[in-house]
Amino acid sequence: MPKNGADIRPEAFLYSNAQPDTVHKQRFEAFLEKKYHKDYQLVWVYDEAIVSGFKLKVGTEIYDWTREGRVTQLKEAIHDKIRTDAKTDEQDLITLYRTSLDSWRMEALPEEEGTVMTVGDGIVFADGLESVVYGEIVVFESGLKGMVQDLRPDSVGIILFGDEESIMEGSRVLRTKKTAGIPVGEGFLGRVVDALGNPVDNRGPIKAADYFPIEASAPEIIDRQAVDTPMNTGILSIDSMFPIGRGQRELIIGDRQTGKTAIAIDTILNQKNNDVICIYVAIGQKASSVAQLVESLRKKGAMDYTIIVNASASESAPLQYIAPYSGTALGEYFMHKGRDVLMVYDDLSKHAIAYRAMSLLLERSPGREAYPGDVFYLHSRLLERSARLSDAIGGGSITALPIVETQAGDVSAYIPTNIISITDGQIFLESDLFFSGQRPAVNVGLSVSRVGGAAQTKAMKKATGSIRLDLAQYREMEVFTQFSNDLDESTKKRLVYGQGLMHLLRQDQGKPYALHEQVILLVSGTAHVMQDVPIANMTAFRQGLLAYFHDVALDLCQKIDKTGIMEDAEKTRIVEIANRYLELSKSKK
């Protein structure tokens, strides 16, 4: 027997504005015993704020049967029904609301409640959420949502998806038992959204077709197929030497202001009429830069098939952290429908910095360069979601172009080496080449595509020939000849040929080449047609050559674009026409 007759049964608290009678008290106690298999002592607490109904608190769980609680549960039930049915028509929504109201019944669903201990810098520490899981969404009493990112014996760390001003010490926080997700659908095409899928382009709400989790498992190996279909960038230096295939992950890496974003944008522009959905994720960029990019894409008709996910520099670290995962969830919606998607992450250096800031605020142990120990997993679980699915499950694909910024060309730094080891190749942009006028400033020696010729058309393979080897020899010879003025005729010719190839690969931003244009330029260049063209005249000669082909050999141009094949006789024809144009250009002078 307990001393002094004290009752040592666990206590459950009933909050209401009227004391329950004996019958109601027995019902509550019976419910508690059936639910928790324990004999609880029911303690009534007067609460004048409760006008109708009651709240029952058992440990950290709360059964909210107040008027407000019932309305909230009804809203959630209707919201879940809308997500499931993916209704978009207004009349369907009205019918759905009426049906839900008629069929809905209040359930005894426990809500686990916690209390905010500290809040600051977009991070909240709370206690009381004993059963919460990593990655779960929680809701504060102000309506602001957050995601659990740190689990401790006595508290949980929560990152906030919004302004923390509405949260203070002692505020209530409730579990939702749901993971973070984002609305998806065709309605997002042509729109600019934030990391939570909310439109930020002042063009009204977006009708969603479904709701996808932002964190999802990568496709299994058995569900993938080989990368063998080209994802043409329209950039001659890349498509010829470092081809990108649908489902590949090709890193774009280089110092600040070397044209990394320009390559990604040109690739997006080149997907016009190719039935490829493009998603550009801006992480930590200036709002003005993103606005200029959107306007540029809109002017060129590329926003029709593009979605911009913007987590600008003014956004909190948690929103910058989830942005690439949200963008990938949007891409997975289209991929699972059998579509091809191009994902651009600009850039993952800022993403890693945002994650580092978030982790340090969550008091995680810092490692190399103060990054947390799981920073490799941060990007591997993101980039592994890019794949080409097998035909059995639709054959869709996500091709990833992650961008990483280096400092003074150091590709051996922590984040660059991590991402290089995850991706299927890298395009390295060199500052010296950029400032010498070589744009795009692709370093042939350090760039590589691990897919190689498997992602090239037969015409491009045949046209490329030994251009990469020729350029490598030229770069080596150029360095060597800096120390000698006495060069033989053969060496001089090789230098002139190499200089011509380098100028051939120069390309204006926003003007991607069609396949037949790339083939014509490569065949003409490797056949030494431009050997004697002065460097100063190379750009004009190139433009004139392509225009001449459109006039005299349009059938050949259309055939290469349509089939991706170039026969030996057609290659010979290209050289003949190029030489003919060379003679015409000389005679005009």
Residue 479: pLDDT band by 50, 70, 90 thresholds?
confident
Residue 110: pLDDT band by 50, 70, 90 thresholds?
low
Q: Which of 76-90, 145-159, 208-222 has the lowest mean pLDDT?
A: 76-90
Residue 88: pLDDT band by 50, 70, 90 thresholds?
very low
Residue 106: pLDDT band by 50, 70, 90 thresholds?
very low
Residue 237: pLDDT band by 50, 70, 90 thresholds?
very high
At 86 the pLDDT is 46
Q: Is the pLDDT of residue 84 over 70?
A: no
At 569 the pLDDT is 94
- In this predicted model, what pLDDT tens digit does every residue of 364-401 receive, in sequence order? 999 999 999 999 999 999 999 999 999 999 999 999 99
- In this predicted model, what pLDDT tens digit does every residue of 120-163 receive, in sequence order? 889 999 998 888 999 999 989 888 999 999 999 999 999 999 88
Q: Is the pLDDT of residue 64 over 60?
A: yes
For 369-398, give the secondary structure using H, E and C.
Answer: HHCECCHHHHHHHHHCCCCEECHHHCCCEE
The Cβ of residue 528 has, within 10 Å, a number of other Cβ atoms equal to 14
What's the rounded Cα separation, in Å, for the pair 556 and 561? 9
Higher per-residue confidence, 101 vs 134: 134
What's the rounded Cα separation, in Å, for the pair 72 and 353? 38
Q: Which domains does the chain have, with CATH numbers?
A: 3-65 (no CATH), 69-182 (2.40.30.20), 190-203+229-456 (3.40.50.300), 462-588 (1.20.150.20)
- In this predicted model, what pLDDT tens digit does every residue of 451-462 receive, in sequence order? 878 889 999 999
Residue 537, C-beta contacts closer than 8 angstroms, at least 6 positions apart: none
Q: What is the mean pLDDT of residues 260-278?
A: 95
Q: Euclidean distance between the first and final Cα of the chain, in Å?
A: 115
Higher per-residue confidence, 227 vs 12: 227
Share of the chain above pLDDT 70, in %: 90
Higher per-residue confidence, 13 vs 280: 280
- In this predicted model, what pLDDT tens digit does every residue of 331-351 receive, in sequence order? 999 999 999 999 999 989 999
Residues in the chain, total: 589
What's the rounded Cα separation, in Å, for the pair 406 and 428? 10
Kindly state the tokens that stand for 150: 């740190």
What's the rounded Cα separation, in Å, for the pair 310 and 513? 28
At 489 the pLDDT is 77
The catalytic residue among 364, 381, 450, 475 is: 450
Q: Is the pLDDT of residue 290 over 70?
A: yes
Q: Is the pLDDT of residue 518 over 90?
A: yes
Strands of the 448-449 sheet, one edge to the other = 192-193, 306-311, 276-283, 340-346, 397-405, 251-254, 425-429, 448-449
Range of 89-103, 131-145, 465-479 with top mean pLDDT = 131-145
> What's this model's pTM, rounded to 2 decimal places?
0.84
- Compute the C-alpha angle 573/439/460, nearest 5°: 30
Q: What is the mean pLDDT of residues 209-234?
A: 93
What's the rounded Cα separation, in Å, for the pair 439 and 471? 15
Q: Which of 39-43, 261-265, 301-305, 578-582 has the lowest mean pLDDT?
A: 39-43
What's the rounded Cα separation, in Å, for the pair 4 and 402? 70
Query: How crowded is the C-beta side of 390, counted as CA atoms within 13 Å?
Result: 8
At 387 the pLDDT is 96
256 residue type, one letter? R
Q: Is the pLDDT of residue 296 over 70?
A: yes
Q: What is the mean pLDDT of residues 10-31?
A: 82
Using a 10 angstrom Cβ sphere, with 0-12 exposed, 13-18 middle and 19 or more buried, the burial of residue 511 is: exposed
Element holding 351 (H helix, E strand) = helix 348-361
Q: Is the pLDDT of residue 410 over 70?
A: yes
Residue 325: pLDDT band by 50, 70, 90 thresholds?
very high
Residue 47: pLDDT band by 50, 70, 90 thresholds?
confident
- Tell me the three state secondary structure of residue 151: strand
What's the rounded Cα separation, in Å, for the pair 168 and 560? 65
Indicate if 450 belongs to the active site.
yes
